[in-house]
Chain A
Amino acid sequence: MALSLAGARVRAAALTLPLVAFIGVTFLAPLGLMLARSVHEPLVADSLPDTLAVLENWDGVSLPGEDVFQALARELLTLHKQRSLGGVATRVNRLESGMRSAIVRTARQLRNADPGSWREAMIAAAPIWNEPKAWRALQRSGERYTLRHFLHALDLERDSEGNVVAQPPDQRIYLSLLGRTLMVSVVITVICLILGYPVAYLIANSPPSRSNLLLLLVLVPFWTSLLVRTTSWIVLLQNQGVINDLLVAVGLTTEESRIPMIYNMTGTLVAMTQILLPFMVLPLYAVMRTIAPSQMRAAAALGASFGQAFVRVYWPQTLPGIAAGSLLVFILSIGYYITPALVGGRTGQLISNLIAYHMQQSLNWGLAAALGAILLVCVALLFFLFNRLVGVERMRFT
């Protein structure tokens, strides 16, 4: 008996294997590999092993000896022949701007030479080899495991002595952007709740024919392509757009003082709220549908005003829906990317836009991974807090 039960359990577990494998291959593995990039950067270490080995004996202040110059020159020449110098040069350049051209130029100029002194030949090719900072950059980019990207993602860096210090104010961006992203997500969640609650109430308490129509009105935009909805907002909100034209026509504003409603924070807030609203309305509706209207009538019969009945009878029962909707909207908006990119302009950009920038433009995937990891930790922390305060098991999504 126990045996057959165990067998059934094994069979049941086996049925979930395809899903587990699917999640592992398409979700966990790529995610893990991406996150690993934030601390693991082996390219320079793998490309310049001899140089880094002899550089270990360097005191970090004076000019390294001829053996270091020779080892580096040899390895640069090999890399140049293999056409893989560019990647190494780019990575060292991230620690010290100017190293890219120094490395490439050195490899080019040493190509046909077998000089007596590698040191002189290299300094002649690129004077930066005369400065300890070049060698420090080389040494630090040769670390196989590094917290550099996480420091960078928190607007910190290491100074020449290796202490962690704040970035110069002009370079600081990520913390303030992270703060802005969290702020925007909270604001959008609150607006969605304020707008969505009465709508969900109306749908849940209308006769079926009308409630189906209302539900359709919520679902049709939900089914419409995100890009179509975002670009529709551009048509409506832009300077020469429908709303501004209307305001000018009725005389509320003048031709010269059209209101900038898009390509700024307002645009991001408006478009994202509209796009995320169904994620609030649907869980709320699911919960409200189960609350019998007779309860409110009973409360009224017992002498409660509508306000009292709402606050003490109705509202508490909708809390699981509020929690579910808010969590959905908040987590979706914290990682939102395409809408801010299209309508956010200069001031409406969120942290995910910077992650995309480092993925696609600067190609600094380590930094992008570190930013992503920090975002993930933020979401996990908030979820943990939320679970402590509200309790996930109390939430209702449908």
Chain B
Amino acid sequence: MRRQSRINLQGHARNLIAALALICVVGTQASADESVTVVSWGGSYAEACKKAVLDPFAEETGIEVRLESYNGGLAQIRAQVETGNVHWDVVDLEFADLARGCDEGLFELIDIDELPPAHDGTPARDDYFEGTFSECGGGGIFYSTVYAYNNESFAGQRPSTIEDFFDLEKFPGRRGMRRTAGANLEFALLADGVPPDEIYAVLDTPGGVNRAFGKLDTIKEHIVWWEAGAQPPQMLADQEVVMSTAYNGRIFNAQVLEQQPFTIVWDGQVLDYGQFAIVAGTPNLEAARSYLLFASRVENMAAIGHYIAYSPTRRSGIDLITTHRETGVEMRPHMPSAPENMGRVVRNDWEWWADHGEEINERFSAWLSR
């Protein structure tokens, strides 16, 4: 009898192990088939994307979503596509990179008519703002490069215009700027008296670029250069700099989530937009496509605006944004597109940068190292 039961127990154990093994095999297979790696810009923006889009997507579809971060550019994507070893499925891109990469065949084509329509039935094609979608993109936000300061750095008068950023006499101290030519040349020309809508016409003349670099020369010795979008709030908090250019959403999140005494100067903001795209040749194409379609739904595009101050690039999404989900702050006045923030605005001309970026950035490197 005893012996009998032991044999039985062994039999049970064997069955259990077999079942467990089966679950493991099935489990790993399911996750290998159903996962998608999304690459975004890190820090509080990636955090917002995760809460607004990635987590709800994983919940709705059961597809596992992995989040990675990068600092922009096409190099890593090109390397993956050219070697046929694609491990990024979906990437969040600046529009200039998206357009260039799309022309080079680095991204899968997306038919705009496949994207979900607005709630009133308006097709996506008409719902997107003019020129903010590419034949490889989905989702999309407006964001803005502004400059911000720490209130504690200024006892008396505070900066309020883009001219003040370049005014060392009125506001002495170090300034943070992104280590690239983009947006910095625009700021420099604005501060030098060029009207916002003539910036790129001036940059197109040979003297225009000189003029911009000349203006940057006036504060060159006082600039601390940053590369990742998460750096400027940190530098301002540490008072490593008295003011810094930054992405508006990062400053907003530092204001509301960390109660940092920061102020954004909207004057002279450089408005830009970006989209998600699927890397060509990804082994997880189906999962990546369903992610992209999910991220292109108006309510999901607007949801990002409930966690960080970036607004959707679809018209019907603007009105869906109400308050910050975690603190209840009214979002609209913090958006780049709020009328009171739209005084002097430069609309980033991605096409100009796609054409001239390489030459200008080489000159920027030469200028920097001098």
Contacts and interface: CB of A to CB of B under 8 A. Distances in A.
Interface in A100-140: 100-101, 104
A355 B74 CA distance: 16
A364 interface: yes
A63 B69 CA distance: 48
A6 to B, nearest CB: 44
Contacts of B76: 360
A100 B354 contact: yes
A343 to B, nearest CB: 13
B369 A347 contact: yes
Contacts of A349: 368-369
Nearest to A80: B103
Interface residues of A, number: 38
A354 B238 CA distance: 30
A86 B98 CA distance: 12
A150 interface: no
Contacts of B368: 346, 349
Interface in B66-94: 73-76, 78
B284 to A, nearest CB: 21
A87 interface: yes
A90 B362 CA distance: 15
Nearest to B223: A346
A365 to B, nearest CB: 10
A97 B359 contact: yes
A361 B73 contact: yes
A167 to B, nearest CB: 9
A363 B74 contact: yes
Contacts of A363: 74-75, 78
Contacts of A171: 362-363, 366
A225 B14 CA distance: 47
Interface string A76-94: 0000001111110110011
Nearest to B103: A86
Interface in A331-365: 345-347, 349, 354, 357, 359-364
A104 B74 contact: no
A237 B210 CA distance: 35
Nearest to A263: B224
A173 B105 contact: no
Contact of A360 (B75, B103, B365, B369): B75
B355 A97 contact: yes
A357 B365 contact: yes
Contacts of A240: 238, 240
Given A98-B356, A345-B225, A86 B104 contact: yes
A363 B106 CA distance: 14
A282 B95 CA distance: 52
B240 to A, nearest CB: 7
Interface in A137-168: none
A239 interface: yes
B362 A93 contact: no
B367 interface: yes
A172 interface: yes
B369 A362 contact: no
B215 to A, nearest CB: 14
Contact of B366 (A84, A87, A170, A364): A170
A138 to B, nearest CB: 15
B240 A239 contact: yes
A101 B75 contact: no
Contacts of A176: 369
Contact of A173 (B104, B224, B369): B369
Interface of B: 73-76, 78, 100-106, 109, 210, 213, 224-225, 238, 240, 351, 354-356, 358-359, 361-363, 365-369
Interface of A: 82-87, 89-90, 93-94, 97-101, 104, 170-173, 176-177, 180, 239-240, 263, 345-347, 349, 354, 357, 359-364
7 contacts: A86-B104, A86-B106, A98-B355, A99-B355, A173-B362, A349-B368, A360-B73
Given A83-B109, A361-B361, 19 more contacts: A83-B105, A86-B102, A86-B104, A90-B100, A93-B355, A93-B358, A98-B356, A100-B354, A100-B355, A170-B366, A173-B362, A176-B369, A239-B240, A240-B238, A346-B369, A347-B369, A349-B368, A357-B365, A359-B75
Smallest CB-CB A-B distances: 9 pairs: A86-B104, A86-B103, A173-B366, A83-B105, A360-B75, A97-B359, A101-B355, A97-B356, A98-B355
